[in-house]
Structure 1
């Protein structure tokens, strides 16, 4: 599928001196009766139901192997999850509240140190799913790898970080470890940020106003993700209706299938 700047407008400000960062994407007008092709953000998928943690196959793009897979499947960007270790000392890429899916004794991420102690998070490895054996990565290391692939980094600051980010004792350090790696790279790397927690979202708007996700990466799927994953065809009707609205970008759990489905439907 041809993807040229005239067909998809996605511009980023790079005026480092002004502290500017990437803006949200803007759709171009469709031609010959077809809509413009959206940018595709890959999402890992998390199972539904009360036994979700037991079924979780750790498919999130929080490690380099998962990022590389998203790239090979045709993603333009990846959505990944930022957590904080004990006292906000390290921003890390992980989706669960606990170490569920990692080796070692189960513990909350916010109770573990990154680099010290027998239960340190930096030494943990994934125990199941397609990325078994991969380790947890810091935000800074993850961003560096995503930059090397040319993908857009979409960061969700998880709600569980609020307790540390809002604390008098550790909030300043915690925000430094999240915002520092972002500010270091935003002049040369395409980064967007958001949170489902209203307070964190408000802080992101204050600290990183030019990087907010906004309406970018609209959710495309309708099928509730589970393990084993439902067939992509369960999303077909929703995909059609979303594409008809010519969104500049979408997010999906079915990156490879969505890219194949999109072929020939847009310009």
Structure 2
């Protein structure tokens, strides 16, 4: 059990400062338990930290979204500098499954150009091609949309673990008799090309896609990895990290091997000294 070593600070401090003898069995037991809490805290292994970008709470979520997701190299690099061990990012498909791209919104909301569904846009041809668009707001304004292959290459160069969410909006294409085979190649080929040289995990919130991932990439399923750690509903501007403190403590006591948070930098600072 990983927990903070400060749960019984007053009892120990008084005894040390006043030179008081611990004479009663109850006091001895209390001190012994406090020492055990400290020992376990020092011995506990810290969870791996997966950075997540944060998406606003309703209402007006799409209008407020500041495009903080780690779907581009600049965001990935920030996560790395904040102490992340891995990053969670989002895979979408362009029209007819012709390109697997890194983007979180159903539409091109947050990008330059006319607003359209990602599944209706071509990657590199026609008016409004996704390749030519740029992020139009937030800390990564000016960044372009990246393909899954290019994104995985960059994440691999940083040494971070790649956690891919295959978005539910891809299902209509992946399950299509006309385009499904090509669409799955767009997702699976870049993963297979790099799985020997970097750690990649995959999942989807759509049950059918999740089952297909289990069949196609059984050794790479997210499973129980990257447990969600936050309790504060993300919004813009972001709530203070301290709103998560009670939940973070509760999750940490369960010794998860890895967690996911919208507050990568704050979580890493909070974790300091609580585990090794």
Same fold (TM over 0.5): yes
Corresponding residue for 2:129? 120
Corresponding residue for 2:163? 154
Q: CA deviation at 1:107?
A: 0.4
Corresponding residue for 2:173? 164
CA deviations on 1:13-54 (whole Å, 9 max, x unpaired) are xxxxxxxxxxxxxxxxx9921121000000000001130000
Structure with greater proportional helix content: 2
Check if 1:210 corresponds to 2:251.
no
Q: CA deviation at 1:118?
A: 2.1
Corresponding residue for 1:63? 72
Corresponding residue for 1:96? 105
Take 2:242 and 2:211, find their aligned partners in 1: how far apart are those partners?
37
Corresponding residue for 2:40? 33
- 2:204 aligned residue (192, 195, 212): 195
Take 2:100 and 2:247, find their aligned partners in 1: how far apart are those partners?
35
Take 1:89 and 1:226, find their aligned partners in 2: how far apart are those partners?
33
Corresponding residue for 2:31? none
Runs of 4 or more above 2 Å deviation: none
Take 1:32 and 1:253, find their aligned partners in 2: how far apart are those partners?
30
Corresponding residue for 1:181? 190
CA deviations on 1:188-214 (whole Å, 9 max, x unpaired) are 111000000000000000000000000
Take 1:177 and 1:31, find their aligned partners in 2: how far apart are those partners?
50
Indicate the RMSD between aligned Cα atoms, in angstroms. 1.0
Corresponding residue for 2:241? 232
Take 1:50 and 1:120, find their aligned partners in 2: how far apart are those partners?
29
Take 1:219 and 1:90, find their aligned partners in 2: how far apart are those partners?
29
| SS state at 2:87 partner | strand
Take 1:244 and 1:36, find their aligned partners in 2: how far apart are those partners?
11
Check if 1:138 corresponds to 2:147.
yes
Take 1:40 and 1:50, find their aligned partners in 2: how far apart are those partners?
29
> Which structure 1 segments of 5+ residues have no match?
1-29
- Larger Rg: 1 or 2? 2
Take 1:222 and 1:53, find their aligned partners in 2: how far apart are those partners?
21
Check if 1:250 corresponds to 2:244.
no
> Which structure 2 segments of 5+ residues have no match?
1-36
Q: CA deviation at 1:120?
A: 0.3
- 2:88 aligned residue (79, 90, 95): 79
Take 1:171 and 1:105, find their aligned partners in 2: how far apart are those partners?
27
Take 2:162 and 2:107, find their aligned partners in 1: how far apart are those partners?
23
**Number of residues paired by the alignment?**
238
Take 1:89 and 1:210, find their aligned partners in 2: how far apart are those partners?
26
